[in-house]
């Protein structure tokens, strides 16, 4: 007589596991957002300091630049503009090649 083997249905993952997985994914997303935000803030601070120290920007001018930087990143976040668009525009209109190089 031939034996018939039945495959058990895969068990549904428990709610606890699903909650843990969801929390992990949300935590990752929050971590990425926090990292990106920190990078933008730090880079903006360096740009503003350079404008102040090297080009004698006033506090009012620095606040204007900070507002425009924030507004531009907001446009990127909303998908109205990409970082590639910004880099290409600077290259085409001003001849600037935005790249980081090791010295």
Spell out, as residue ranges, where the chain has pLDDT lower than 70. 1-15, 101-103
pLDDT for 19: 74
What pLDDT, in 10s, does the model give residues 41-52? 898 999 999 999
Residue 28: the pLDDT is 76
Domain residue ranges in the chain:
32-94
What is the predicted pLDDT for the residue at 2?
Answer: 58
Burial of 61 (0-12, 13-18, 19+ CB in 10 A): middle
With a pLDDT cut of 70, the percent of the chain lying above it is 82
**Cβ–Cβ < 8 Å for 45, 51:** no
Return the pLDDT at 3: 56
pLDDT of residue 49: 96
């Amino acid at each position: 007589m031939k034996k018939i083997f039945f495959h058990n249905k895969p068990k549904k993952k428990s709610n606890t596991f699903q909650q843990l997985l969801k929390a992990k994914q949300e935590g990752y997303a929050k971590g990425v957002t926090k990292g990106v935000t920190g990078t933008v803030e730090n880079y903006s601070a360096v740009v503003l300091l350079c404008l102040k120290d090297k080009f004698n920007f006033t506090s009012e001018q620095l606040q204007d630049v900070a507002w425009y930087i924030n507004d531009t990143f907001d446009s990127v976040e909303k998908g109205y503009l990409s970082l590639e668009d910004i880099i290409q525009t600077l290259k085409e209109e001003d001849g600037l090649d935005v790249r980081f190089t090791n010295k």
